[in-house]
Structure 1
Amino acid sequence: MTSSTTPMTEGLPPLGSPEFAADPQRHYAWLREHAPVAQTRIDYGPVSQPVWVLARYQDCRAMLTDPRLPRSPGDGSAMATGLPEHIRMVSQESLIMKDGAEHKRLRALVAKPFTPKMIERLGERVRALATERLDALVGQDVLDLRQEYALPIPFTVIAEVVGVDEADRARFQLGVAAMLSDYEGTREDWDAKIRDLVDFVRELVARKRAEPAEDILTGLIQAEEDGDRLSEDELVAMVFTLIVAGYETTFNLITNAVVTLLDHPEDLARLREAPEDTALWRSAIEEIVRFAGPVGGTKPATAVEDITWYGQTVPAGSVVIPLLGSANRDPAVFDEPDRFDITRTPNHHLGFGHGQHFCLGASLARMEARVAVQVLLARHPAITLAVPRDELAFEPMPLWTRYQQLPVHLG
């Protein structure tokens, strides 16, 4: 665990705490103004870890390409200390936690199956899934849109992309739900579910080797660059990466998009009245990512030398995280940053990161959110919240903006 004699920033609640999650933008604004480089804590499962955070846009953006702040330093990430081997493997072997030449190698192999034709085909599948889900919800007065609409669509997409058969979906979903639950239940139960998901993915890799199919996992197994292929551990880790990039980010983006548009009825009406205006819809999704994106920070980096910002020295060995949710409201970069504007241009937000670690699933997440919201508004233009707005609560998960529920009347 990182050690430092620098005190925690007074008055700043830990990342992921209920106090921080209740009003993150208030804390971000304070940090940008008073402590653009600050030390706090982050609750990472059972571990409470000291971290340094950056709050201003230019510092966050620069950090994402700074070789002094790799995600995988030579001696391993401090955030991985004490994790079980199967957890360490799926996190540390992922390209998300690789840098330089190793990251470039993995990304080149992973990019091969992700063709424009594949994304276009998935767009039609997302539209069909959204229609099916809304058909299934006909007649319900009040429903949790997050659980019953936003979540099933990307789950089905990622299961099909990976190549999980219908018969195995329940087992796959149980492991995925545990992976994204932030240690619900006992630590032993959580650990067992993750271990089973790792075992399942290994079985799936073996099956796809023996019986290739038209799916991304088969494509990853067959992908080759200059005679190089992904190892089994890398393939398993890549499936976990796809779950985060293509599922977790997406269902929360769909949820956040609906809440944000309900908060801004004039913008909602404008989009509803222009279903074929692709440029406007794309712009709206970018603004939703900036204004209410689900990802508030990147995976942690580790300083390999002392680094000084604004006279504040971050010691070598410290864990550092850029607060993307804060950067995207920085008034030094965005005019009226707290105003939601679906026609905002330029809109160089950091909601999907920057540099070599720019989100692998960004195109998929954008497309799925756009199509899912388009289908929803076309079928149910009179959708409203089923609870007072102030009853919508965020999950206290570090670096995420995730609603616990989204009760609605479809109208």
Structure 2
Amino acid sequence: MSALERPTEKGTPMSAPSDERTIAHPITLGSPEFMADQHFYYDWMRREAPVYCGRMTLLGDQDVYYVSRYRDCLAVVTDPRIQRVVPGAEPLPLPAALRMLTDHAMIYKDDPEHMRLRKLVSRPFTPKAIGRLADRVDTVTRELLDGMESGQRIDLQQDYALPVPTTVINEMVGVPETDRYRFRGFIEVMVDGIATYGLEMAALKMEGFIDYLRELIELRRADPGEDILTGLIHTCEDGDTLSEDEIIAMVFLLVAAGYETTYNLITNGVAALLTHPDQLSRLKEQPDLIDSAVEEILRYTGTAGSTEPTTYAAEDLTLHNVTIPRGALVLALLASANRDPDEFPDPDTFDIARTPNSHLAFSKGNHFCLGASLARMETKIAIANLIERFPNLRLAVDPEDLRLVPIPLFNRLEGLPVVLG
């Protein structure tokens, strides 16, 4: 039986935090207080309020029900009563350009429409396709490292982690060489735009990206290539094809997930290793632990902290005596679930040989991340090649000086200054 049951009682359990610090309620994900020590808040919620009605920056005073324990998060992401589309639910306050993506992207759909889109777009993510990309990622990382030298100080995020998925995305989408600088500008607006320009201005800039993708679709219709965009244009399942808006939404999703998540995962993984020198030494001595290390990086860093912020209760539900009303936003806090001591012994310990490691970094169920194998592959190759080339790599600043960008549900460092060695 699912951990989510129909309502029997109302009310949100609350009590004072267990240490000397106090918590101002409602807890707001993305606030400076939360970002300064998110795992303090996650720990408190798991113990004291495993279903918590809080807030999120960018959403104002809209209620968001946060689920923080591992087993409950697993129940939420696999429960058919938690849906992307619920008639009458309060929609996210999105401008037209961003609304188009939620109207046509598969992550904002429920079955059977979600499954229809997933079948159509899944072919470029087969193991064979990922294997072909792995050779290219290996080449790109080695070329980047060839341009660096021992003793050099770099921002590993900007100079190494970022170019890897940028190159992969350009080639997967089939962006012509002459357009790649322009395309990167669109990506930067998409990833940083809301934080830099605000929602409305970012959406206006995104309209230029939509117009460019329409041009690119026409180019690939006339001149097909061996790229994902050509594949999306020509994919067919029992006579069903993707509309142009669905293709554009999929490219947006590919950029958002394949670019944003991957370069942050590489950056956060290197940061975790550099701040845990015993684990870095272990990986250098046992390079065959790289697959296990990537899984622990996924669990420990919480790069993507939650499911998509567009999941709603399709009916009144009760969990831990808290009623989640129909139409309310419900988020499974995956970063919290992955530090749940009931599931992971010593959850705050970074252990690259951890086994078992059934983390939820890519979620579970029907909406399991389609690009999980791609992100794993890029991270594995990027970190392995970096450590092989510069085994004495070290932080150029104190660990306490590393700062997170205040974006709710994402753990993105402002930068990662290192000295190569």
TM-score range, shorter chain: over 0.9
- 1:91/1:176 CA distance change after superposition, 3 Å: farther
2:273 paired with 1:264? no
Contact 1:71 / 1:299 at 8 angstroms: preserved in 2?
Answer: no
Provide the rounded CA distance (Å) in 2 between the counterparts of 1:287 and 1:99: 30
Which residue number corresponds to residue 387 of structure 2?
377
Identify which of 110, 128, 136 aligns with 2:147. 136
Which residue number corresponds to residue 315 of structure 2?
305
What secondary structure does 2:63 align onto? strand
Root mean square deviation, CA, Å: 1.9
Query: What is the CA-CA distance between 1:14 and the residue it aligns to?
Result: 0.9
Which residue number corresponds to residue 209 of structure 1?
221
2:179 paired with 1:168? yes
Q: Which runs of 4+ in 1 moved over 4 A?
A: 5-10
Provide the rounded CA distance (Å) in 2 between the counterparts of 1:408 and 1:289: 21
Deviation by residue 1:42-76 (Cα, 9 ceiling, x = unmatched): 123x755321100101111001111221012245x
Provide the rounded CA distance (Å) in 1 between the counterparts of 2:151 and 2:209: 33
Which residue number corresponds to residue 405 of structure 1?
415
Which residue number corresponds to residue 273 of structure 1?
285
Question: Structure 1: which amino acid aligns with 2:161?
Answer: A
Query: What is the CA-CA distance between 1:190 and the residue it aligns to?
Result: 1.9
Deviation by residue 1:185-228 (Cα, 9 ceiling, x = unmatched): 35554223211111111111121111110001101111111110
Question: Structure 2: which amino acid aligns with 1:59?
Answer: D
- 1:274/1:90 CA distance change after superposition, 3 Å: same
Contact 2:86 / 2:327 at 8 angstroms: preserved in 1?
Answer: no
What secondary structure does 1:228 align onto? coil
Contact 2:11 / 2:323 at 8 angstroms: preserved in 1?
Answer: no
- Map 1:176-187; keep pairs closer than 5 Å: 176-181=187-192, 182-185=194-197, 187=199
Which residue number corresponds to residue 20 of structure 1?
34
**Aligned residues between the structures:** 401
- Map 1:85-234; keep pairs closer than 5 Å: 85-138=96-149, 141-181=152-192, 182-185=194-197, 187=199, 189-234=201-246
What secondary structure does 1:271 align onto? helix
Greater CA drift, 259-268 or 359-368? 259-268
Question: Structure 1: which amino acid aligns with 2:63?
Answer: P
Contact 1:8 / 1:39 at 8 angstroms: preserved in 2?
Answer: no
- 1:48/1:158 CA distance change after superposition, 3 Å: farther
Provide the rounded CA distance (Å) in 2 between the counterparts of 1:329 and 1:283: 17
Which residue number corresponds to residue 283 of structure 1?
292
Provide the rounded CA distance (Å) in 2 between the counterparts of 1:8 and 1:248: 36
What secondary structure does 1:147 align onto? helix
Provide the rounded CA distance (Å) in 2 between the counterparts of 1:186 and 1:348: 37
Provide the rounded CA distance (Å) in 2 between the counterparts of 1:281 and 1:394: 25
Contact 1:17 / 1:396 at 8 angstroms: preserved in 2?
Answer: yes
Contact 1:144 / 1:407 at 8 angstroms: preserved in 2?
Answer: yes
Query: What is the CA-CA distance between 1:141 and the residue it aligns to?
Result: 2.9
- Sequence identity percentage: 49
Deviation by residue 1:16-37 (Cα, 9 ceiling, x = unmatched): 1121111111110000000100
Identify which of 37, 51, 56 aligns with 2:69. 56
Question: Structure 1: which amino acid aligns with 2:135?
Answer: E
2:346 paired with 1:336? yes
Provide the rounded CA distance (Å) in 2 between the counterparts of 1:331 and 1:190: 40
Provide the rounded CA distance (Å) in 2 between the counterparts of 1:351 and 1:106: 22
Provide the rounded CA distance (Å) in 1 between the counterparts of 2:206 and 2:339: 35
Deviation by residue 1:73-101 (Cα, 9 ceiling, x = unmatched): 245x6343x42222111133111111111
Which residue number corresponds to residue 355 of structure 1?
365
Contact 1:55 / 1:322 at 8 angstroms: preserved in 2?
Answer: yes
Greater CA drift, 238-247 or 130-139? 130-139
Q: TM-score of the superposition, structure 1-length normalised?
A: 0.93
2:46 paired with 1:37? no
Query: What is the CA-CA distance between 1:7 and the residue it aligns to?
Result: 8.9
What secondary structure does 1:337 align onto? coil
Identify which of 384, 396, 406 aligns with 1:386. 396
